[in-house]
Structure 1
């Protein structure tokens, strides 16, 4: 068994788990269904393809940079003679960074690693309007899921690290949400296991998860030098 690590970061991302009617919500971290959708796109699978092999993977998320909840409005037109419009509300996470781990059989994990580096379909973080930025695939680790997640370096952006440093934080506490082992005390339910992505009858099942906190020391970084903001339009002219 091995663990594939991913860095999920983007200006905005959205991981819907309980959207209803005109309101599209987002969880505060990547959902299992959203990440399985990402893997399916990389593999070139259709919405009606079987998901059994992807559902067997153990899944965990570390919140390296929690981001900010963003609320957006969309106006859509109804297909009526009057062309009535209505407002929908959509939620996103802005400036968030997550470390995601997937544990499974070595050969299959290697296949997923290759597919994510050479995806068949475009990849996005929850919604099509949220393409990933920076390095997505961190690679395979010959470790079990929780160990791989805990030992991977902190993935937060440099500006966020400097911000915490200026606020005189010596360490940051990172929440890890992971599939629970059987009979784990304190485990709770999440309804984000995809049974089918078929748009005619999407179905999701429950899983048991645990959340733990891991403390990471903040490395000392030098703040970037401030650039001058004043501009003298006549500076280029001679005396």
Structure 2
């Protein structure tokens, strides 16, 4: 690994992503927990969350599992490509926080004096309100593509992590298991064939909704369901500023990456007969209710 950076490296030093035809394998990570928070931008008193995991969050999870310190370089992890499948979008939670000094002193302000010490608030302010956003009951399937030897090592690290794993923030631990193993194939192919990872309750709700749509008086258990995906692609038509360059405490640096958004028809994992009384055997067509989280 490279020594810790002494200054903010320019985006031009970022390692290029692995070319699409050189993805040797894909590591699948099930990112699920009571709370998640994937912020790509946050102010001091307002912590946002993206609707799906960021690349910096996923790389940070892999770095923690591997035992890397924040000062360590990320040479091996930066070129990895990322795909995210939204299996259960969850709901947005707004959490109310107040901050105060346990010694009863006025809180400092953002400005500093000539010695670099934060100035006290004027007039004195003893309580500060902060707002933080989380995703609750969300489930994502992250596909990390790269060389198989590296992904095999990362798979073992995630199963026995050196540092605690977190879903964006340290206060958001994941449910187990996190790793679904290493697969052969492209990101799209692997995400298309991996069974739906939503909770049993969410899948039953979906089946009940499908039955109501057909006026069946019972749940309808389709063989496949449409899920939204975001795949890292040099030719993608969207840009996200969430690719890490360094996690060094004094030189945290991020750059942009290109992605594309799509829908994939994936297996639901429902057991038994999937016959559709209206003539479709697998319900592989587009599901208009998918955007609503059903």
Q: What residue number does 2:52 align with?
A: 29
- Runs of 4+ aligned structure 1 residues displaced above 2 Å come to 78-83, 169-173, 215-222
Provide the secondary structure at the position in 2 that maps to 1:52.
Answer: coil
Shift of 1:16: 0.7
Shift of 1:219: 5.5
Q: Could you tell me which of 153, 157, 160 is aligned with 2:195?
A: 153
Q: What residue number does 1:183 align with?
A: 235
Q: Which ranges in structure 2 are unaligned for 5 or more consecutive residues? A: 1-23, 108-125, 212-221, 273-294
Q: What residue number does 1:193 align with?
A: 243
Pick which of 33-42 and 44-53 moved more: 44-53
Contact 1:10 1:133 in 2 (8 A): yes
Shift of 1:217: 5.9
Shift of 1:123: 0.6
Q: Could you tell me which of 137, 143, 149 is aligned with 2:179?
A: 137
Q: What residue number does 2:256 align with?
A: 206
- For residues 209 and 64 of structure 1, the distance between their equivalents in structure 2, rounded to whole angstroms, comes to 18
Which has the larger strand fraction? 1
Contact 1:162 1:221 in 2 (8 A): no
Task: Determine whether 1:65 maps to 2:88.
Answer: yes
- For residues 269 and 64 of structure 2, the distance between their equivalents in structure 1, rounded to whole angstroms, comes to 36
Pairing 1:95-174 to 2, within 5 Å after superposition: 95-168=137-210, 170=222, 172-174=225-227
Contact 2:195 2:267 in 1 (8 A): no
Cα 1:219–1:153 change in 2 (3 A) is closer
Cα 1:213–1:134 change in 2 (3 A) is same
Q: Which ranges in structure 1 are unaligned for 5 or more consecutive residues? A: 223-239
Pick which of 197-206 and 149-158 moved more: 197-206
Q: What residue number does 1:19 align with?
A: 42
TM-score with structure 1 length normalisation? 0.86
- How many residues end up aligned between the 2 structures? 219
- For residues 196 and 89 of structure 1, the distance between their equivalents in structure 2, rounded to whole angstroms, comes to 26
- For residues 235 and 252 of structure 2, the distance between their equivalents in structure 1, rounded to whole angstroms, comes to 29
